[in-house]
Structure 1
């Protein structure tokens, strides 16, 4: 079912939150199914954080019907109605894209292997130490990541021949445990097709998944610096 978030301004900010919600529900009820009405707050002593309230509408044509109510009278105040875009604001989207491109093509993550089969009862530090010693003769290790959830470790190298040497260690043992080794998904091993599309079996480079939280944290900090804040009730960043 189509979903749209409507921002409404013009109401008296001295009104109680419940009164604003009641007026909005009555006014926009004919536009579609009202999923939620949100009047943002900053603290209990100051009821309204800004001059916008939000109405989440469901249904075909809800956006068009709601926009037709722009400038209409709502019990003594004029409703100023606009649609909150679903897409990320342009500057934040560009910043996110630049971070993704930089991380995707970081030289540290061009070559590597995924290792499993080792003793998973070891701590992360113990696994990292044991595997570093085992693979250090392959060449320069640029990054190592122990995934405790999937019980595997990604080890990255600076050169392709170093990756090849690591692959040759398949079946060798660490602490009595036989290792399973295969190439990790990288931007080089998962090249897009000539038209930019992904080929069959394409896998997102493993390090992109590893650093997703860090990347999102940078984007959030960027948004906050630009005056945006996240409204939990509507699941959107607004300014």
Structure 2
């Protein structure tokens, strides 16, 4: 009988709750029998065999025996072993082809797969942020005194652009030495563009329209035209979503949409 042992590696958890959430995410529906062509073993026994076989690779955090979709007991030849420890994954892969109590272990790494429903939900959150009217109209400002602290840049630009209309969001990018300022209405954006060449603290401003959903729309049907640029506010937000859960992304989307930094 062949046993396909699919590995997931973990690098540590901040709390017991985080560890439990990780295991529950991988678990699926458990099977109570692990069966071959002519024998069935209790789930506890197959888990014990796998723990004993892989404990030299690192801490065996969990062994999961998923239930097959058609619930056929003769197809239960797959288990997930979750290992914790430096180099645990590489050590376990070296056990590929070894004997586990009469079974031939075929070991491979299982890539993380996002649940389809979770993926759709995450996409809807990002789409909501992408098309938020708060970020439809804006300007990119360069040329000001970049040696000033961020709070002084914000204060100076807020004062300079306040007559244009309601500033809905502003972001000082210290790396690119530019500031993006967004407005509620198109005519407010036009007033801001008219300030091109004016001075703040003796520095001449270079002002252009910021890439937004309205100013550089895709062509449709998934096509992207020449010169298309990702909306600037999405680039600003992008670094906030790495390795986050859906709930964490939802919280960050809400917080990001509420930011009114120049107010």
TM-score, structure 2 length as denominator? 0.60
Residues 92 and 222, structure 1, Cα contact 8 Å, conserved in 2 = no
Aligned to 1:13, which of 48, 51, 56? 51
What's 2:127 paired with?
101
Gaps of 5+ in 2: 8-45, 64-80, 84-88, 91-95, 250-263
Seen in structure 2, the aligned counterparts of structure 1 residues 209 and 192 have a Cα distance that, compared at 3 Å, is same
Distance 2:173 2:181 in 1: 11
Distance 1:103 1:179 in 2: 29
- Aligned: 1:75 with 2:103: no
| Secondary structure of the structure 2 residue equivalent to 1:165 | helix
Aligned to 2:62, which of 50, 56, 79? 50
What's 2:178 paired with?
152
Aligned to 1:115, which of 141, 145, 170? 141
Q: Cα offset for 1:53?
A: 4.9
Residues 37-60 of structure 1: CA deviation (Å, up to 9, x unaligned): xx5xxxxxxx3111115868xxxx
Please give the residue correspondences for 1:206-225 in structure 2 after superposition, counting only pairs within 5 Å. 206-216=232-242, 218-219=244-245, 221=247
- Aligned: 1:142 with 2:168: yes
Residues 123-169 of structure 1: CA deviation (Å, up to 9, x unaligned): 11110110000001001100000000000000000011110110000
Residues 137 and 182, structure 2, Cα contact 8 Å, conserved in 1 = yes
Distance 1:16 1:93 in 2: 32
Q: Cα offset for 1:212?
A: 1.4
| Secondary structure of the structure 1 residue equivalent to 2:192 | helix
| Secondary structure of the structure 1 residue equivalent to 2:213 | coil
Count of residue pairs the alignment pairs up = 178
Aligned to 2:216, which of 181, 185, 190? 190
| Secondary structure of the structure 1 residue equivalent to 2:99 | coil
Residues 82-114 of structure 1: CA deviation (Å, up to 9, x unaligned): 873564321331122012101101111000000
Seen in structure 2, the aligned counterparts of structure 1 residues 139 and 204 have a Cα distance that, compared at 3 Å, is same
Q: Cα offset for 1:75?
A: 3.2
Residues 134 and 169, structure 2, Cα contact 8 Å, conserved in 1 = yes
What's 1:28 paired with?
none
Aligned to 2:190, which of 141, 164, 184? 164
Distance 2:108 2:120 in 1: 24
Distance 1:77 1:108 in 2: 64
What's 2:73 paired with?
none
Gaps of 5+ in 1: 1-5, 22-38, 40-46, 57-68, 224-239
Residues 211 and 230, structure 2, Cα contact 8 Å, conserved in 1 = yes
Runs (4 or more) in structure 1 with deviation over 6 Å come to 80-83
